[in-house]
Structure 1
């Protein structure tokens, strides 16, 4: 686990992929440019968020399919695909296809629960089955079985000139070992471990009445590792290094963090969600705060999240400083 004398092993970044609803192509293009830049800067991975019925990436798997054709080395991930919006069989086909196109670089992260704004989208999403859809963990298990190559059909053989398989095609044998689960509680972390999933942690946890974010997150990671010592764990805090930022950028980043600080340490909503503080400052300052973070000390890879709503030039500056200054301050070395 990272300490000043035990370096961070793998480093990635996460982007939301914002776009203008009246002209969506440029935003999607800049997302692909960011992923390609991440590869040039030596990042191990680039992850994209999802935003259904919003002005961010609604189809992360399609965006990553395009990214496979603009990159050769960097791993490509989703953080996370909410399975309430997906048919596991169709998603398994899409994931396997993109993994084949990428040469085995896809790292799909998924989560459970009903779709956001469920009462407003249920009739469009599941007009005939809304009342019987299962949005729990079995949906993940079904996806995993299909990705692993278990039977999807009771028929295989030839009909006329068409051949049929009983399992999802294409089949990508290594994909199941690169599946991730976005967990925010002890029980979900342990469940993910039992399923053989890797663990994605983020800047959100379920508080359970507690208010020490790092202590909660570190406990969840330890519980996961106890149940699955071979699994990978990644931490995804929002970090904004300012080493090469202009004065105007520094002020904008500081104002962004101040606005979000009000929610830190205060459980939010019926689920009691607890948010981590965004880390803004020089790479040396952020590294010092991360070394002191109990959750960070439990991982050996990180996927740092980019903040919402900033222009492309800001993101270029942030990821460049993460790769060139913050990563090395944490002992990480860019990939060639």
Structure 2
């Protein structure tokens, strides 16, 4: 039998917030209802993805602002906001505002790199500055400094009857410690650690160049990222890491739902057998089955044994009733099997 991990301390979930382009309100309302359900079930956190120019949440900060007014306890996160689409100063203002509204429950996750299909979107996104934009980790550093209260300008004081601050307002003092970096490579893991961020690792990792002698198995690669992150973080082994695999319990699922879930995982399995594309991205298989079976597979996962908090990802294309069943089984079957206890 595999060595079991420590009891799971924090259980969360991640949703894309899919909607119909002809009726977007219904999809957004479904997402908010799912977050409300998550709080009732005792989940520690609810996370939303982003999808620019697609039929998923394009403004996660706005959606979470609404969620702050419909929940009172559950932590609310983004996994992740790609900063290539954002102005760090404006984003810092939005994040601080939502964190204040939530009572300090916001967990912003971010990543860097050029926007997807940048050549096509640049004329609309950066019509005059596309060539000058910096999509490196420097962009995250700017956001970190602004959220943590570093000056945004050399001017402050009173001008006429208006009062100006030299740092982002509102300032939410605890928010800087709740910023996460979504990384899939050793370089990203190290950078996140060196800069004192929390680390989000998901169901996709970068398979390093075979010439470097890197691990080839998904779990081993992910484990190397977690250990690299903590080795370079000021908090060492106490630095926070959240794992985001696709995990679908079927304890209370109907026969039709089980067939749907198994077909979904089966269709996505080929991409898990070898690194994909020039970036050599390697995907984890989706985990589907009854909770005892899922718990055994997770305890056998080298990276899962290294963490005590997760945000399991909900599949993109399922129906609202499916998400209700999956969340309910996560909270009432799988979570307790992993040693987790619902928040009060």
Output the TM-score relative to the length of structure 2.
0.96
Shift of residue 61 of structure 1? Answer: 0.3
**1:285 matches 2:265:** no
Q: Which residue of 2 aligns with 1:83?
A: 83
SS in 2 for 1:223: helix
Residues in 2 aligned to 1:35 and 1:26: alpha-carbon distance in whole angstroms: 14
Measured in 2, the distance between the counterparts of 1:180 and 1:303 equals: 13
Query: How far did residue 4 of structure 1 move?
Result: 3.8
- Show the counterpart of 1:253: 261
C-alpha offsets along residues 62-100 of structure 1, whole Å, 9 cap, x if unaligned?
000000000000000000000000000000000000000
Q: Which residue of 2 aligns with 1:93?
A: 93
- Residue in structure 2 matched with residue 222 of structure 1 by the alignment: 227
Q: Which secondary structure state, in structure 2, belongs to the residue aligned with residue 235 of structure 1?
A: strand
Q: Is the 8 A contact 2:295 2:337 kept in 1?
A: yes
Structure 1 window deviating more from structure 2 (200-209 vs 241-250): it is 200-209
In structure 2, the gaps of 5 or more residues are: none
Give the drift of 1:187: 1.5
Q: How many residue pairs align between the two structures?
A: 335
Contact 1:283 1:325 in 2 (8 A): yes
Between 209-218 and 284-293, report the one with greater CA deviation: 209-218
Alpha-carbon deviation of 1:6? Answer: 2.4
- Partner SS state of residue 289, structure 1: helix
**Which residue in 2 is equivalent to 1:16?**
16
Structure 1 distance, partners of 2:297, 2:5, is 15
Mapped contact 1:64–1:76 kept (Cα < 8 A): yes
Contact 2:75 2:106 in 1 (8 A): yes
User: Which residue of structure 2 lines up, in the alignment, with residue 235 of structure 1?
Assistant: 243
Matched with 1:70 is: 70
Distance 2:132 2:33 in 1: 41
Equivalent residue, structure 2, for 1:56: 56
What's the TM-score once normalised by structure 1's chain length? 0.98
Closer/same/farther in 2, CA of residues 294 and 7 from structure 1, 3 Å limit: same
**SS of match in other structure, 1:201:** strand
* 8 Å Cα contact 2:203-2:283 kept in structure 1: yes
State the alpha-carbon separation in 2 of the partners of residues 128 and 328 from structure 1. Answer: 53
CA distance in 2, matches of 1:3, 1:165: 53
| Rounded Cα–Cα distance in structure 1 between residues aligned with 2:57 and 2:92 | 19
Give 1:3 shift. Answer: 5.8
Q: What CA distance in whole angstroms lies between the structure 2 residues aligned with 1:212 and 1:271?
A: 16
Give the conservation status (yes or no) of the 8 Å contact 1:213–1:265: no
Query: Over residues 226-258 of structure 1, what are the superposed CA-to-partner deviations in whole Å (9 max), with x where a residue is unaligned?
Result: 122142000000000000000000000000000
Distance 1:38 1:183, change over 3 A: same
Q: Does structure 1 retain, via aligned residues, the 8 Å contact 2:76–2:106?
A: yes
- In 2: Cα distance, 1:5 partner to 1:245 partner: 27
Name 1:42's counterpart in structure 2: 42
Q: State the SS of the aligned residue for 1:11.
A: strand
Higher mean Cα deviation, 53-62 or 218-227? 218-227
C-alpha distance in structure 2 between counterparts of 1:207 and 1:6, whole Å: 27
Return the alpha-carbon distance in structure 2 between the equivalents of residues 123 and 184 of structure 1.
29
1:212 and 2:220 aligned:
no
Match of 1:263 among 250, 258, 271: 271
Q: Look up the SS of the partner of 1:115 in the other structure.
A: coil
CA distance in 2, matches of 1:265, 1:45: 31
Q: Match for residue 199 of structure 2?
A: 199
